[in-house]
Amino acid sequence: MLAFGLGIVQPPGRHGDGASAATPRSPVYFRVPTKAKDGVPAPVLVVLHGMGGKGESTAQPWIQEAENQGWVVVAPTFNYGDWFDPNAVRADDLKFSRELATILGDLPTTVGRDVAPRAMLFGFSRGAQLAHRFALYYPERVQAVAAYAAGTYTLPDSELALNGKNVTLDLPFGVADLPRWLGRACNRVQLASVPFWIGVGETDNRVEDVPRSWDPYLGQTRVARAESFHRALERHHVPSALNKFPGVDHFLTPEVLANAAGFFEQAPALSARTSYLSVPDAVLGLLDLAS
Confidence of residue 271 (pLDDT cuts 50, 70, 90): low
- Identify which of 150, 145, 167 has the alpha carbon closest to the alpha carbon of residue 158: 167
Residue 285 has pLDDT above 90, yes or no: no
> So what's the pLDDT on residue 273?
57
38, pLDDT greater than 90:
no
Mean pLDDT along residues 66-71: 94
Across residues 183-208, what is the average pLDDT? 96
Q: Are 143 and 150 in contact (CB under 8 A)?
A: no
How many angstroms separate the Cα of 228 from the Cα of each of 70, 242, 268? 34, 10, 25
- pLDDT tens digit sequence for 7-34: 323 333 333 444 443 434 799 999 999 8
Rounded to 5 degrees, what angle do the CA atoms 145, 146, 152 make?
Answer: 95
Q: In the CATH hierarchy, which fold is given to the domain comprising 17-290?
A: Rossmann fold (3.40.50)
**Buried b vs exposed e over 22-32: b needs ≥16 C-beta within 10 Å?**
ebeebbbbbbb
Q: Please compute, for residue 253, the number of CA atoms within 13 A of its CA located in the half-sphere on the CB side.
A: 14
Q: Which helix (H) or strand (E) holds 29?
A: strand 28-31
Confidence category of residue 35, pLDDT binned at 50, 70, 90: confident
The string over 274-291, giving b where at least 16 C-beta atoms fall within 10 Å of a residue's C-beta and e elsewhere, is: eebeebeebbeebeeeee
